[in-house]
Each structure stands twice: as C-alpha cells, then as structure tokens.
C-alpha cells in the first residue's frame, strides 16, 4: 500500500508536465493599444500561455508549450495583427488600418539589404 501511495505522489506531478519554454523577441508598436493587440495575437496561438510586451524596449516575452508551438507561427500571427516582428513584416495594408496612434517607425530594406527606417507617425507615446 505504501508503494502505491509513493508512486501516486511521484507520478501525479509528471502528468501535468509540459515542454514549457520562454522566448523573447522584438515586436514593433507604439502605445497601449498596440500592447493589447500584440499580446492578444500572441496568446491566440494554441499553446502560448502568457505574453507580455514592453512598450519601451519593444520586446515581447512569451511562455509556451514547445510541443505545441512553432515560434514562427507566433511571429506570423502578430504580423497578421499589423505589427512587425524581428522575423516577419506585417502587410502594408494591415499596418495602414491600425489607428494613427499605433503607427510605429517601420524598417525597410534598401537594395543592399541594409535596414532603412521609413517614416512613421504616432499621435502619442
């Protein structure tokens, strides 16, 4: 009987075990509405359990189940919401539909492949 109790107590925590990881990457935005939109887009990916975007550093920290989440999918989902990430650029049409206060400075590539900042406008920061 003691062996059963011991094994039960030992294995129960393992049942809830997942391949829990953390990641952090750059996501461009400008205001509190951007923060909400970015975090919601990240959390909409099945397996992402937490998302926190820092407006000053432009860094998004996420917690996710690595067995269920491909980080490229998180980048794509955020870009679909209108925000460029360090890997995926949002479509221009989607970016233009963001409220004016959410327009951030975007990076473009010139012919040499170097990043060049494009003009952006933000009504408040």
Domain containing residue 96: CATH number: 3.30.70.100
Number of domains forming the structure of the chain? 1
Would you say residue 106 has pLDDT above 60?
yes
CA end-to-end span of the chain: 64
Is 60 inside a domain boundary? yes
Pinpoint the alpha helices (H) of 45-106: 71-80, 92-96
What digits encode the pLDDT tens for the residues 13-72? 555 555 899 999 999 999 999 999 999 999 999 999 999 999 999 999 999 999 999 999
Structure tokens at 39: 């975090």
Q: Which helix (H) or strand (E) holds 91?
A: none
Is 13 inside a domain boundary? no
3-state helix, strand, coil in the chain (%, to 5): 35, 25, 40
Is 5 inside a domain boundary? no
Expressed as residue numbers, the domain containing 68 is: 18-117
Is 25 inside a domain boundary? yes
Is 61 inside a domain boundary? yes
Place of tokens 């887009």: 41
Is 6 inside a domain boundary? no
Structure tokens at 61: 């920290």
**pTM metric for this prediction:** 0.74
For residues 51 and 39, is the Cβ–Cβ distance under 8 A?
yes
Is 111 inside a domain boundary? yes
CA-CA distance, 82 to 28, in Å (whole number)? 9
């Amino acid at each position: 009987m003691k062996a059963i109790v011991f094994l039960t107590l030992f294995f129960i925590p393992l049942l809830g075990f997942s391949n829990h990881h953390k990641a952090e990457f750059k996501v461009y935005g400008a205001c509190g509405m951007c923060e909400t939109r970015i975090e919601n887009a990240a959390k909409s990916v099945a397996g992402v359990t937490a998302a926190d975007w820092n407006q000053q550093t432009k860094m998004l920290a996420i917690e996710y189940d690595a067995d269920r989440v491909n980080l490229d999918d998180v980048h794509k989902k955020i870009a679909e919401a209108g925000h460029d990430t360090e890997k995926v650029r949002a479509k221009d049409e989607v970016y233009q539909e963001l409220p004016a206060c959410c327009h951030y400075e975007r990076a473009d590539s010139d012919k040499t492949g170097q990043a060049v900042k494009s003009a952006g406008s933000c009504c408040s920061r």
